[in-house]
Copies of this chain bind each other. A is one copy, B any other.
Amino acid sequence: MAVTVAGITAPVNGDRLWRSLMDMAEIGATAGGGVGRIALSDLDKASRDLFVGWCREAGLAVRIDRMGNIIGRRAGADDDAPPVVTGSHLDSQPLGGKFDGAYGVLAGLEVVRALNDAGITTRAPLEIVDWTDEEGVRFTAGVVASGVYAGQFDLDYGLNLPDREDTTTLGRELARIGYDGDAPCGGYPISAFFEAHIEQGPILEREGAVIGAVLGAQGRRCHTITVTGEEGHAGTLPMTLRRDALVGAARMIDGLNRLAFDFDPLPVITAGYLQVRPNSRNTVPGRVTFSVDIRHPDNALLADICARAESLCRRLAEEAGVAVEIAEMFGRDSVAFDPDCVEAVRAAAKRLDLVCRDIHSGAGHDACNLAHIAPTGMIFVPCKDGISHNEREAATPGDLAAGCQVLLEAMVARAGIA
């Protein structure tokens, strides 16, 4: 399955890409058809070993940096020029899918293989990266190794991250699986970074687009809201005397959902976690804790939405006779990708006659870190029903090959041909 549209630089081999994805998915394969490869587990080591072998077979020089990032380098004609970099991650959620992360790494590898097949040398060197621990399942933060690479975090912070049980650290586990490399983690100029990824949402599929030219990643603010009323006997406490924490929380959750529709473009507002105390049929709830996650591509609008959300909750609490505490747990600003990189994706899609639309990333990615130090772009391809972080995650070989071809064109356009 080669992409055979006229005007392409070197055709990627979609069958080979698919086979590599399926071979990789055997490592940590789950009964439900997905993948469970938690970062720095023995399965993660096995996936790294497989990738390193493939890199070497493709003639890449492999180095491991201090954060365990694996970098396969294809020399350029001007090998001192800053490299054009691509990559994503081979670790997964505990019950994740075959494509989240692995696609971006193996699409990078397929770019190299296709250039090898076509006998093309780029002017600038190319680097294909497997970023360590993107998912942040086992240790207490995600996208940390690309963050160290991009100067967002200190190396010591990254290596000393404890696991959730506080029994080991990321650095000790890197050493355990033999991926405590000695190459510097970042610190050198790069020409551009591109990351191919499944969308993890339903927009491309619903709109019949094959390629998403990612404009950036939404900003995100996570809050924990605690509503405190007063417990009482469900049979004996009259309605007129109640201070029901769950009724108060329910009105807030309804109101926050409706609030989203007041803004254009729409934010996403989600109450995903909720806990009731004492959580008994027979007792009027005294306390409810719930999460509110608000995301929007525009930081100023995001701040405005958060302020409106807060005043809404305070007003509804007062009306319901309950107290409310609102704590911001964590947040990140939106990231805008480089206009030239975004345009390179659009242009490649257009040249390949692929239906392309601009899109914002709702999730965080390693590319959001890289955007701090280099012109960055992302390429999204559709995933079935928008489902990700799930064993049922699926994408078609054709869409994956199309995204890979766009990646090749964008990287080569940036690197130049010797």
A-B contact pairs, 6 of them (CB 8 A): A201-B232, A239-B266, A250-B257, A270-B283, A272-B284, A275-B279
With A272-B285, A283-B272: A295-B235 Cβ-Cβ less than 8 Å: yes
The one of B218, B261, B283 that contacts A239, using a Cβ cutoff of 8 Å: B261
The one of B218, B236, B241, B279 that contacts A235, using a Cβ cutoff of 8 Å: B218
Q: Is A20 an interface residue (CB 8 A)?
A: no
Tell me if B274 and A279 are in contact (CB < 8 A).
yes
Tell me if A238 and B284 are in contact (CB < 8 A).
no
Instruction: Give CA–CA (A388, B236) in the complex, Å.
Output: 10
| Most chain B Cβ neighbours within 10 Å, of A200, A206, A238, A275 | A238
Tell me if B235 and A268 are in contact (CB < 8 A).
yes
Instruction: Give CA–CA (A251, B247) in the complex, Å.
Output: 10
With A222-B281, A241-B202: A246-B274 Cβ-Cβ less than 8 Å: yes
Query: Within the oligomer, what is the number of copies of this chain?
Result: 2
List the 4 closest A-B pairs by CB distance, nearest first: A201-B236, A235-B362, A236-B362, A234-B270
Residue interface mask A95-115, B partner, CB < 8 A = 1: 000000000000000000000
Q: Is A244 an interface residue (CB 8 A)?
A: yes
With A247-B257, A386-B236: A279-B283 Cβ-Cβ less than 8 Å: no
Tell me if B279 and A234 are in contact (CB < 8 A).
no
Q: Is A372 an interface residue (CB 8 A)?
A: no
Tell me if A233 and B388 are in contact (CB < 8 A).
yes
Whose C-beta in chain B lies nearest to the C-beta of A246? B271
Q: Report A274 CB to chain B, min CB distance, Å.
A: 5
Q: Report A207 CB to chain B, min CB distance, Å.
A: 11
Q: Is A311 an interface residue (CB 8 A)?
A: no
Q: Is A175 an interface residue (CB 8 A)?
A: no
With A250-B250, A389-B233: A241-B272 Cβ-Cβ less than 8 Å: no
Give me the interface of A with B, judged by CB distance under 8 Å: 199-203, 206, 218, 220, 222, 231-241, 244, 246-247, 249-251, 253-254, 257, 260-261, 266-276, 279-285, 291, 293, 295, 361-364, 386-390
Instruction: Give CA–CA (A201, B232) in the complex, Å.
Output: 8
Chain B residue numbers with a CB within 8 Å of A199 are 236
Tell me if B266 and A272 are in contact (CB < 8 A).
no
Chain B residue numbers with a CB within 8 Å of A236 are 199-202, 268, 361-363, 386, 388
The one of B272, B281, B291, B363 that contacts A291, using a Cβ cutoff of 8 Å: B281
With A236-B200, A239-B260: A276-B279 Cβ-Cβ less than 8 Å: no
Instruction: Give CA–CA (A197, B155) in the complex, Å.
Output: 67
Chain B residue numbers with a CB within 8 Å of A246 are 253, 271-272, 274
Tell me if A244 and B232 are in contact (CB < 8 A).
no
Chain B residue numbers with a CB within 8 Å of A202 are 232, 236-238, 241
With A236-B363, A247-B254, A295-B235: A272-B268 Cβ-Cβ less than 8 Å: no
Tell me if A238 and B279 are in contact (CB < 8 A).
no
Q: Report A230 CB to chain B, min CB distance, Å.
A: 9
The one of B233, B249, B293 that contacts A234, using a Cβ cutoff of 8 Å: B293
Instruction: Give CA–CA (A111, B223) in the complex, Å.
Output: 58
Tell me if A281 and B293 are in contact (CB < 8 A).
yes
Whose C-beta in chain B lies nearest to the C-beta of A251? B254
Q: Report A296 CB to chain B, min CB distance, Å.
A: 11
Q: Report A267 CB to chain B, min CB distance, Å.
A: 8
Chain B residue numbers with a CB within 8 Å of A387 are 232
Instruction: Give CA–CA (A80, B271) in the complex, Å.
Output: 67
Tell me if B272 and A280 are in contact (CB < 8 A).
yes
Whose C-beta in chain B lies nearest to the C-beta of A279? B273
Instruction: Give CA–CA (A254, B201) in the complex, Å.
Output: 30
